[in-house]
Structure 1
Amino acid sequence: MYLLTLAFAQSQTPGAAPAGGANFLVLFPMYLLIFLVFYFFLIRPQQKREQEKQSMISQLKKNDEVITSGGIHGTVVNVKEKTLVLRVDDNVKMEVEQSAVAVLKKAR
């Protein structure tokens, strides 16, 4: 019984106009502000990091020391179109994707 009374109390009177337009005008700037905060604090820095990583990968050359995303330390022996050949130890070479390079330790 209480819920029914509460429902009638919250309903609009029959002659009143809906107030949906005013709510939108109040909420729109808030949503815009939230989007701008997400853009400047999350999306834009991620794009900058990705651009810096792509730049670093494109500048890799022979004898650069790198660390892969899997934690493998190696020296670049050969740079191919999409892959790198790394010397991990004496007489041990691995071919990895260029995108697997996480850190450029030392450029020579």
Structure 2
Amino acid sequence: MDFFISTAMAQGGGEQGNPLFGIIFLVLMMAIFWFLLIRPQQKRQKAHQKMVTELSRGDEVVTNGGVLGRVTAVGETFITLEVSKSQQVRVQKNAVANVMPKGTIKEQEKAAQQAKKEAKRQDKQEAVEDRSDETAVDEAPSGAEEPETERAAEGSEDATQDKDRPAR
């Protein structure tokens, strides 16, 4: 068994590579990292900063929290959004996610009004159906219901059938 140890010790190291190759590989990896991750993020940041600086009164915007509103006042760091006819909210300029096309708020209000109308119509229709079901039950002849004795007899038949079945 000693001959394995001596052979392992006698082996020489592999051929040394060029040390410049490691540095080139590291620089190449950093360049790829910069082009794929850092540069696109910087572009998005510049575009967002430009959008925020160009905000003006009357713009329709969506915040990062999803609040849709119309800009009523623009300050140095804050803007005031009108989210409904009587409610205004102050948010930081950087909280604006997107500037929406003009008319977006009106479209959303129309869609909400139509949804309310549709919901009311469905509620009325369901109420009418419920009333017609109640009147149909009230008008049913008393002979249509099963007597208690028939129900009890059916229950006892089910019990005898269960006894005949093997247990699982």
Whether the TM-score (by the shorter chain) exceeds 0.5 is yes
* Change in 2 beyond 3 A, CA 1:103/1:34: same
Report what 2:89 is aligned to. Answer: 94
Select 2:39's aligned residue among 7, 26, 44: 44
Which residue identity lines up with residue 48 of structure 1 in the other structure?
K
RMSD over aligned CA atoms reads: 2.8
Q: What is the CA distance between 1:30 and its match in structure 2? A: 1.2
Shift of 1:102: 0.5
**Bigger share in helix:** 2
CA distance in 1, matches of 2:79, 2:10: 68
Identity fraction in percent: 35
Residue 67 (structure 1) aligned with residue 62 (structure 2)? yes
> In the alignment, residue 95 of structure 2 is paired with which amino acid?
A
State the Cα distance separating 1:107 from its structure 2 match.
5.8
* Off by >6 Å, runs of 4+ in structure 1: 10-13
Q: Return 5+ residue gaps in structure 1 as ranges.
A: none
Aligned to 2:72: 77
- Unpaired segments ≥5 residues, structure 2: 104-168
Taking the aligned partners of 2:71 and 2:9, their CA distance within structure 1 comes to 71
Alignment length, in residue pairs?
A: 99
2:29 is matched by which residue type in structure 1? I
